[in-house]
Amino acid sequence: MKFIGIIPARYASTRFPGKPLADINGKTMIQRVYEQVKIALDDVVVATDDSRIEEAVKAFGGEVVMTSTNHKSGTDRIAEAIEKFESERSENYQVVINIQGDEPFIQPEQILALKACFKTPSTQIATLVKPIENQDEIFDMNKVKVVLSKNNRALYFSRSPIPFLRGEKKENWLKKQTYYKHVGMYAYRRDTLNEITKLPQSPLEISESLEQLRWLENEYVIKTDITKHESIGIDTPEDLERVKQLGLL
């Protein structure tokens, strides 16, 4: 099975314009993400709609594909990118891994875990989850919770606390039940990626503002793996300064 990692990267971020080109101790953010992904994957490409990012990726020797400026989601962008990249290189990939371009702390073992999900033939989409350790995160609407089947298939994603622990005080929930939060990395079988980009928005997706609910409503199988690594995205210049001060970069 042939895998490729695609990193969508936009310049026009409302909260952090030019974020992929932000300097992190002598390297751009996009370079740091790229180099981490290359440890786990032979084939990696940045998908962007901005020539400045294209030039920066080429400058450090990375692969890059220019895509439309009209995409509404990263999923749509990677779908166009894989079409172009396969055409240019005369390659065919069975699985596409979508990596966030603002997570320079991504761990290679997380990518390997996603790859391993496809050893199960029924897997169409794979993603990661992490056990919640902080009680407050259960009730934080910005932390997406996940419930799993006995075989680690995703049953539902929600901004609400799931499962609801009836008859227990909220301060005891974490002691009585294992809760998982979603780590926003996805991998897709090639044909599945083509299909899901053509699906209309679904009622549950609109309600929770979570794209993955569209896939569940259309009965796609989302396999999960449990990671111990925290997802640390950089959304604002303040986020970047904070991780620099913590010595994380």
Q: Name the CATH architecture for the domain at 1-106.
A: Alpha-Beta Complex (3.90)
- 24-37 core/surface letters (b: 16 or more CB in 10 A; e: else): beebbbbbbbbebb
User: Letter for the amino acid at 57?
Assistant: V
Q: What is the pLDDT of residues 119-142, one digit of tens each?
A: 999 999 999 999 999 999 999 999
Hey, what's the torsion of the CAs at 88, 9, 228, 154, to 10 degrees?
-70
pLDDT of residue 245: 75
For residue range 153-209, list pLDDT tens digits in order. Answer: 999 999 999 999 999 999 999 999 999 999 989 999 999 999 999 999 999 999 999
In sequence order, which residues have a C-beta less than 8 Å from that of residue 90 and are 6 or more positions away?
A: none
C-alpha distances in Å from residue 194, one per residue of 4, 90, 124, 169, 170: 15, 18, 12, 45, 42
pLDDT band with cut points at 50, 70 and 90 for residue 247 = low
The residue among 45, 41, 61, 50 whose CA lies nearest residue 21 is 50
Q: Is domain 117-229 in CATH 3.40.50.2300, yes or no? A: no
Do the first three CATH levels of 1-106 and 117-229 match, i.e. the same topology?
yes
Predicted pLDDT of residue 225: 97
Structure tokens belonging to residue 230: 């925290």
What is the sign, positive or negative, of the torsion defined by CA atoms of 83, 86, 92, 96? negative
Prior bond of 108 cis (ω within 30°): no
Domain boundaries, the chain: 1-106, 117-229
